[in-house]
Amino acid sequence: MPKQNIIWKKGRGKLGLLSPILGSWKAETESPMGKLICTRVLEPILSGNYIQLTVNWDFSEKKYQEHAIIGMEEGKISFWSFTSDGKKSKGSISDGTDIHPEAICFEAQMPAGLARMIYWPNPEGGFNWAVESKNTKGWNRFTQHHYKTI
């Protein structure tokens, strides 16, 4: 992988790693379900001890929401996610440097197997976000968005 310039400035504290993705973001793309507008809001809560993630997926005909809390558990950045379809997941920070040297990556054991969610800087501004599942050949990407600040 070619050397890439450092784009993201990390913040202070245990959750400072997440500073580059804090804020309000929007992606617009086509999907198998039609046009998708997805917003992500990441904001510190509870005196900065946690980050709250609020995601709204708008597929025109269908809407889907996620609320997650990101914080420390046993010395590791972890998340607890709850979705409007009644599902929940729990995971923790992991290595995503195979995608980008500055990637912020979380892994979770899901009913269908290991999955990961990755954030990394986009050269045009904002960040890329993807979800991948682990299979015998490696990681299989099934969703990728480019988020821009709102």
What is the pLDDT tens value at each position of the chain, 150 positions in all? 455 566 799 999 999 999 999 999 999 999 888 899 999 999 999 999 999 999 999 998 899 999 999 999 999 999 999 999 999 999 999 999 999 999 999 999 998 899 999 999 999 999 999 999 999 999 999 999 999 999
Give Rg (Cα) of the chain.
Answer: 15
Residue-number span of the structural domain to which 143 is assigned: 16-149
Cβ–Cβ under 8 Å, residues 140 and 131: no
Domain count, the chain: 1
Cβ–Cβ under 8 Å, residues 23 and 47: no
Token couple for 127: 């960040």
Give the pLDDT confidence score for residue 3 in this predicted structure: 53
Has residue 46 been placed in a domain?
A: yes
Give the pLDDT confidence score for residue 54 in this predicted structure: 98
CATH number of the domain encompassing residue 125: 2.40.128.20
- For the entire predicted model, the pTM comes to 0.93
